[in-house]
C-alpha cells in the first residue's frame, strides 16, 4: 500500500504529474494523511470508474440537459477533467462552457465546486439546474436554508456554488470532510476576473490559489469567454495550474448581427429609440439597453415606461434588494426590456435575449463582447447595436480614476482605444472582433454586420488626408486630435496662438468641414495605418505613422496620390446636414422574430405554448427558460408529440421535464393542436421549417423586382401554380 502511496503522491507529496504541491503548513499532518488515504482509495476504483463515466457521457447529456450531442470542445474538456487534469476553457459567450463543469459531477457522483462572482448569478444557475433534476446549491450570505452547509459538506450536491470570498473563508474542516465525500473539480467561472489585464479584475479572485494547497488532487478548471494571451497566462499562473489543458474555441457568434451608429445624446434621440423599441418589444424576446451613466439609465427607463413598455432598471446605486427584484423579473419574462449599467448581467444565461443595445461606447472590446454576447444564446438570430458619441472617447479619466497601478491604467487605455477603433470601423466588424481575440477569419466580409450589409460610399480623400496628416506632423505629435483639427478649422484659441500654430500654412484651410468630420477622417486614417494613436497615462496623442510619412513624401501641395477611403456615417450626415440627432435606425430590420420560420397556425401554437410555459414556470416558482428554452418550445410546436417517448426525443427536452411535466405538456399540446386544427406528430423539424421559410418568404435583402414580387404573391397567397403565373 505504501508503495502505491508513493506512486500517487511521490516521496514529497508530488502529484501524478510529478510536480510537488505544498501540503500547506497550517493544514497539518491530519490533512495530509486524509489526502493520502483518499488518493489510495480513489486509485483502486479509478480506472473502471472513469471508463464507465466516459461511456455514460452522452446519455447523461440527454438525461439532464436534453441535448443529443456536445458542442465543440465540451467533450474534450470533460475528458481531461475526468483524467484529473487542470483545464483552461476559453470559449465564446454562450458557447456552453458551464456544461464542462456540470457534466463530470453527474458522471462521477461527486461534488463540483464552482466559484462564481455574483450571488444572483449563482441563484440563476441553481434554479436552472434544479429544473433539470441536478442537486445544486450555493453557499453564501444570501443562503437562507441552514441545512445547506451540512448537506454540502457531506457531498450531497452535484454542484456547489460559492463566491471567491466564501470559498477562501470556509473552514478547513469543511473542505476535509467534503474531500472525504468526493470533490471531482474546482471550477473558477469568469476566470478573467483573476487578471489585472482582464476587463473585470477582482482582487478576491487572486486569493483562490490558497485552496490549491487544500484540494491537492482536485483538477482546477478556469472558464472565461474573453481572455487575451496575457490574461490566459495570468489565470494559469494565479491558479497555480499544473500543465493545464487549454481549450480555445472560436469567438465567432454567428447568429449575432453587429451594428454601430453615431448619435448625439438628446431627448429627441431617446424618443426615437423608444419608438423603435416599442415597435417590436412585444413580438420579439427580451432586450437589454446598456448605458454608461446612471443618468442615461434613468432617463431611458422613464421614457420606455411612459411608452407603456414593461421595463426594468438596474444600476449600482440601487439597493441590493431592488437590483435582485429587477433581475428576477427580467429573467422570469415579467419585463421586456432591462435598462442597466454594466453592473447588470455578468454570466446571465437568459437564452431568449434578442437585442443588446449599447447607449454609449463601452470601455473595452472585452466588455462589449461579453455584454453583447448575452443575446441570442439560444442560437436564434439576434441583434447588437452600439450607439456612440465622440464624447465617449474622452472618458479615460472616468475609467482610470481609482486605478492604482500603472499596469491597470495602461490596460484600461489600450482597451478604450480598441473600443474606439471598433466604433470607427468601416470594414467587417466581426473580423475585427475575432482578430482582437487572436482568431483569424478567412472571409473579408461576414455578411452579418452593418458594414458588410450596407456598402459604404467611397471617395478619393487624398487632399483632405494630406492636409490633416501634414498638420498633425507640424504639431509634432505632442497633441491629441483636437489641436490639429482646431488649427485646420482656423481657431484662434489661446493654446493655438501660444504655440504659434496660427502661422502654419494649413491654418484655416479645413473650415469647410466640421470638427467631427475631421475627427472621423482621422479615425479612418488610423484604421488604415496612416496615423497612430498612442497614450501616456490617460492622455492620448496622435502622430503620423511611417506609412503616413511615406504618403506625405510622395505628395506635393498641388498634387497628392489618390487615397480612396470610405465615408463614415458621421461624414455623410455632416456633409448632407440631414440629421443632427443621428438616426436610431430600424432596430428590428435585422432581427428574425421568433416565429418567422413557422406557418401561421404553427406560430400560434408556438406562442400559446410559450404562455403555457410561463404559467407552468410561475406555478413552480422558476423562470420560463429554466423549464425549457424558446428554441425547444419551437421544436415542440413543430413536432407536436403525442407520447412521452416522442416528447423526450426532441432536442432540449430533458428527462426531468418529461417525468415531472410530461403529462401536462402532452395534454396541452393535444388540446391546442385540436383548437388550431393541426395534426399531432407533425414530424416537421426546425431545419425543414427553415428551408420552407427560405422558399416562402421574399427576404428583404433578396431585392425582388416588382414583377417577381407580384408573381411570388400570386404563388404564395393565391396558390396559383408557377406554370399558370408564367403565362399571365
Ligand atoms: N451541447 C449543447 N447542445 C445544445 N445546447 C447547449 C449545449 N451546451 C450548452 N448549451 C446551451 O447553451 C447555452 C449557453 O451555455 P452556457 O451558459 O454554458 O454558456 P457559457 O459559455 O457559460 O457563456 P457565458 O460565457 O456567456 O456565461 C445554455 O442555454 C446551454 O444550455
Q: Is the pLDDT of residue 11 over 50?
A: no
Q: Could you report the per-residue pLDDT of 548-570, keeping only the tens digit for each? A: 999 988 887 778 888 888 888 77
Check: CB of residue 352 under 8 Å from CB of residue 625. yes
Rounded percentage of the chain residues whose pLDDT exceeds 70: 79
Rounded percentage of the chain residues whose pLDDT exceeds 90: 37
Distances in whole angstroms, Cα of residue 543 to Cα of each of 426, 484, 563: 21, 10, 18
Structure confidence at residue 276 (pLDDT): 82
Structure confidence at residue 235 (pLDDT): 92
Structure confidence at residue 461 (pLDDT): 87
Measured in Å, residue 93 CA sits from the centre of ligand 1 at 8
Runs of H (alpha helix) within 171-319: 172-181, 229-238, 267-280, 294-306
The x, y and z cell numbers of residue 136, run together, are 445544486
User: Does any ligand 1 atom lie closer than 6 A to the CB of residue 98?
Assistant: yes
Residue bearing the CA closest to ligand 1, atom 9: 96
Q: Could you report the per-residue pLDDT of 635-671, keeping only the tens digit for each? A: 999 999 999 999 999 999 999 999 999 999 999 999 9
- Coil, strand, or helix at residue 118? coil
- Non-local CB neighbours of 361 within 8 Å, separated by 6+ positions: 292, 386, 388, 389, 392, 393, 395, 419, 420, 423
Distances in whole angstroms, Cα of residue 355 to Cα of each of 351, 371, 666, 681: 11, 11, 32, 33
Structure confidence at residue 399 (pLDDT): 62
Check: CB of residue 120 under 8 Å from CB of residue 329. no
Q: pTM here?
A: 0.70
Q: Could you report the per-residue pLDDT of 286-300, keeping only the tens digit for each? A: 899 999 899 999 999
State mean pLDDT over 611-633. Answer: 90
**Distance from C-alpha of 304 to C-alpha of 549, rounded to nearest angstrom:** 50
**Distance from C-alpha of 278 to C-alpha of 282, rounded to nearest angstrom:** 7
State mean pLDDT over 704-720. Answer: 44
- Regarding predicted confidence, which is higher, 420 or 339? 339
**Distance from C-alpha of 264 to C-alpha of 501, rounded to nearest angstrom:** 30
**Distance from C-alpha of 302 to C-alpha of 309, rounded to nearest angstrom:** 10
Structure confidence at residue 696 (pLDDT): 33
Atom of ligand 1 nearest to the CA of 99: 18
**Distance from C-alpha of 204 to C-alpha of 524, rounded to nearest angstrom:** 41
User: pLDDT-derived band of residue 711, with 50, 70 and 90 as boundaries?
Assistant: very low
Instruction: Produce one character per residue of 327-349: b if its CB has 16 or more CB atoms within 10 Å, e if not.
Output: bbebbbbebbbbbbbbbbbbbbb
User: Does any ligand 1 atom lie closer than 6 A to the CB of residue 91?
Assistant: yes
Structure confidence at residue 535 (pLDDT): 74
Identify the residue whose cell numbers are 455514460: 56
- Non-local CB neighbours of 358 within 8 Å, separated by 6+ positions: 289, 290, 368, 371, 372, 384, 385, 386, 387, 388
User: Does any ligand 1 atom lie closer than 6 A to the CB of residue 70?
Assistant: yes
Q: How many residues does the chain have?
A: 728
Runs of H (alpha helix) within 307-439: 320-331, 365-372, 396-400, 406-424, 429-436
Q: Output the average pLDDT for the chain.
A: 81
488-492, 643-647, 693-697, range with the lowest pLDDT: 693-697
Q: Is the pLDDT of residue 37 over 80?
A: no
State mean pLDDT over 329-340. Answer: 92
Identify the residue whose cell numbers are 415606461: 305
Backbone angles phi, psi at 591, to 5 degrees: -80, 130
The x, y and z cell numbers of residue 698, run together, are 421574399
User: Does any ligand 1 atom lie closer than 6 A to the CB of residue 100?
Assistant: no
- Angle at which helix 686-696 crosses helix 630-639, to 10 degrees, equals 80
Atom of ligand 1 nearest to the CA of 351: 29
- Non-local CB neighbours of 45 within 8 Å, separated by 6+ positions: none
Q: Could you report the per-residue pLDDT of 108-147, keeping only the tens digit for each? A: 999 999 999 888 788 889 999 999 999 999 998 888 898 9
Residue bearing the CA closest to ligand 1, atom 26: 93
Residue 640 CA, distance from chain mean position: 33
94-108, 376-390, 600-614, 703-717, range with the lowest pLDDT: 703-717
Residue bearing the CA closest to ligand 1, atom 6: 96
**Distance from C-alpha of 684 to C-alpha of 69, rounded to nearest angstrom:** 20
**Distance from C-alpha of 140 to C-alpha of 161, rounded to nearest angstrom:** 9
Structure confidence at residue 3 (pLDDT): 30
ipTM value for the complex:
0.98
Task: Give 64's Cβ-side CA count (13 Å radius).
Answer: 20
Structure confidence at residue 83 (pLDDT): 93
Q: Is the pLDDT of residue 151 over 90?
A: yes
Atom of ligand 1 nearest to the CA of 651: 4
User: Of 72, 73, 88, 96, which is best to mutate to test ligand 1, by the most ligand atoms within 8 angstroms of its C-beta?
Assistant: 96
User: Of 71, 72, 74, 98, which is best to mutate to test ligand 1, by the most ligand atoms within 8 angstroms of its C-beta?
Assistant: 98
C-alpha closest to that of 424 among 590, 585, 566: 566
Distances in whole angstroms, Cα of residue 618 to Cα of each of 66, 152, 334, 622: 22, 28, 10, 6
Residue bearing the CA closest to ligand 1, atom 16: 96
Q: Is the pLDDT of residue 673 over 50?
A: yes
- Coil, strand, or helix at residue 356? strand
Check: CB of residue 472 under 8 Å from CB of residue 544. yes
Q: Is the pLDDT of residue 19 over 60?
A: no
Residue 108 CA, distance from chain mean position: 30
Q: Could you report the per-residue pLDDT of 517-536, keeping only the tens digit for each? A: 898 899 889 888 899 887 77
Residue 298 CA, distance from chain mean position: 24
Q: Is the pLDDT of residue 592 over 50?
A: no
Q: How many other CB atoms are found less than 10 A from the CB of residue 363?
A: 20
User: Does any ligand 1 atom lie closer than 6 A to the CB of residue 60?
Assistant: no
Measured in Å, residue 207 CA sits from the centre of ligand 1 at 28
Amino acid at each position: 500500500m505504501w508503495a502505491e502511496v508513493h506512486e500517487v503522491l511521490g516521496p514529497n507529496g508530488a502529484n501524478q504529474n510529478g510536480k510537488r504541491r505544498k501540503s500547506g503548513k497550517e493544514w497539518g499532518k491530519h490533512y495530509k494523511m486524509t489526502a493520502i488515504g483518499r488518493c489510495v482509495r480513489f486509485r483502486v476504483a479509478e480506472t473502471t470508474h472513469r471508463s464507465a463515466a466516459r461511456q455514460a457521457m452522452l446519455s447523461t447529456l440527454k438525461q439532464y440537459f436534453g441535448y443529443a450531442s456536445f458542442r465543440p470542445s465540451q467533450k474534450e474538456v470533460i475528458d481531461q477533467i475526468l483524467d484529473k487534469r487542470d483545464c483552461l476553457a476559453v470559449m465564446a459567450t454562450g458557447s456552453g462552457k458551464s456544461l464542462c463543469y456540470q457534466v463530470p459531477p453527474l458522471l462521477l457522483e461527486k461534488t463540483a465546486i464552482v466559484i462564481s462572482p455574483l450571488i444572483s448569478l449563482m441563484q440563476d444557475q441553481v434554479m436552472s439546474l434544479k429544473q433539470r433534476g441536478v442537486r445544486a446549491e450555493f453557499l453564501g450570505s444570501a443562503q437562507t436554508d441552514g441545512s445547506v452547509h451540512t448537506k454540502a459538506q457531506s457531498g450531497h450536491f452535484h454542484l456547489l456554488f460559492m463566491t471567491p470570498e466564501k470559498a477562501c473563508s470556509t473552514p478547513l474542516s469543511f473542505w476535509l470532510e467534503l474531500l472525504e465525500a468526493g470533490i471531482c473539480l474546482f471550477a473558477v467561472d469568469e476566470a478573467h476576473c483573476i487578471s489585472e489585464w482582464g476587463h473585470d479584475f477582482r482582487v478576491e479572485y487572486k486569493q483562490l490559489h490558497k485552496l490549491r494547497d487544500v484540494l491537492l488532487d482536485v483538477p482546477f478548471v478556469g472558464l472565461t469567454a474573453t481572455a487575451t494571451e496575457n490574461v490566459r497566462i495570468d489565470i494559469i499562473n494565479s491558479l497555480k495550474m499544473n500543465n493545464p489543458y487549454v481549450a480555445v474555441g472560436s469567438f465567432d457568434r454567428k447568429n449575432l448581427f453587429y451594428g454601430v451608429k453615431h448619435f448625439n445624446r438628446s431627448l429627441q434621440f431617446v424618443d426615437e429609440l423608444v419608438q423603435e423599441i416599442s415597435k417590436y418589444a412585444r413580438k420579439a424576446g427580451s432586450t437589454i439597453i446598456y448605458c454608461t451613466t446612471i443618468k442615461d439609465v434613468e432617463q431611458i427607463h422613464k421614457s420606455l415606461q411612459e411608452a407603456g413598455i414593461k421595463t426594468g432598471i438596474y444600476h449600482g446605486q440601487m439597493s441590493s434588494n431592488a437590483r435582485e427584484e429587477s433581475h428576477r423579473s427580467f429573467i422570469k419574462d415579467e419585463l421586456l426590456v432591462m435598462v442597466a449599467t454594466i453592473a447588470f448581467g455578468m454570466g446571465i444565461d437568459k437564452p431568449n435575449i434578442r437585442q443588446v443595445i449599447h447607449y454609449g461606447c463601452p470601455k473595452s472590446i472585452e466588455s462589449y463582447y461579453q455584454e453583447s454576447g448575452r443575446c441570442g444564446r439560444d442560437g436564434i438570430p439576434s441583434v447588437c447595436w452600439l450607439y456612440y458619441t465622440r464624447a465617449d472617447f474622452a472618458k479615460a479619466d472616468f475609467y482610470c480614476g481609482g486605478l492604482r497601478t500603472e499596469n491597470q491604467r495602461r490596460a484600461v487605455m489600450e482597451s478604450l482605444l480598441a473600443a474606439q477603433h471598433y466604433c470607427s470601423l468601416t470594414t467587417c466588424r466581426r473580423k475585427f472582433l475575432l482578430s482582437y481575440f487572436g482568431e483569424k477569419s478567412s472571409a473579408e466580409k461576414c455578411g452579418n454586420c452593418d458594414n458588410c450589409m450596407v456598402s459604404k460610399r467611397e471617395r478619393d480623400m487624398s487632399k483632405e488626408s494630406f492636409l490633416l496628416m501634414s498638420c498633425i506632423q507640424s504639431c509634432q505629435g505632442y497633441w491629441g486630435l483636437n489641436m490639429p483639427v482646431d488649427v485646420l478649422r482656423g481657431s484662434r484659441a489661446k493654446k493655438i496662438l501660444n504655440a504659434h500654430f496660427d502661422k502654419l500654412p494649413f491654418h484655416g484651410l479645413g473650415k469647410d468641414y466640421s470638427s467631427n468630420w475631421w475627427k472621423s477622417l482621422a479615425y479612418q486614417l488610423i484604421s488604415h495605418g496612416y496615423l497612430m494613436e498612442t497614450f501616456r497615462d490617460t492622455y492620448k496623442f496622435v502622430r503620423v505613422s511611417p506609412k503616413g510619412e511615406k504618403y506625405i513624401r510622395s505628395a506635393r501641395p498641388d498634387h497628392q496620390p489618390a487615397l480612396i477611403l470610405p465615408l463614415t456615417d458621421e461624414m455623410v450626415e455632416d456633409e448632407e446636414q440631414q440629421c443632427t440627432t443621428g438616426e436610431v435606425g430600424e432596430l428590428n430590420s435585422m432581427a428574425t422574430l421568433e416565429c418567422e420560420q413557422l406557418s401561421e397556425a404553427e406560430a400560434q401554437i408556438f406562442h400559446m405554448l410559450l404562455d403555457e410555459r410561463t404559467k407552468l414556470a410561475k406555478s413552480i416558482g422558476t423562470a420560463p427558460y429554466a423549464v425549457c428554452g424558446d428554441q425547444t418550445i419551437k421544436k415542440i410546436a413543430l413536432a407536436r408529440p403525442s407520447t412521452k417517448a416522442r416528447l423526450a426525443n426532441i432536442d432540449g427536452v430533458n428527462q426531468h421535464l418529461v417525468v415531472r411535466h410530461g403529462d401536462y405538456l402532452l395534454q396541452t399540446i393535444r388540446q391546442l393542436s385540436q383548437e388550431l386544427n393541426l395534426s399531432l406528430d407533425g414530424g416537421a423539424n426546425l431545419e425543414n421549417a427553415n428551408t420552407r421559410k427560405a422558399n416562402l418568404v421574399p427576404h428583404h435583402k433578396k431585392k425582388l423586382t416588382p414583377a417577381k414580387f407580384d408573381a411570388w404573391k400570386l404563388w404564395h397567397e393565391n396558390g396559383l401554380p408557377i406554370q399558370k403565373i408564367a403565362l399571365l
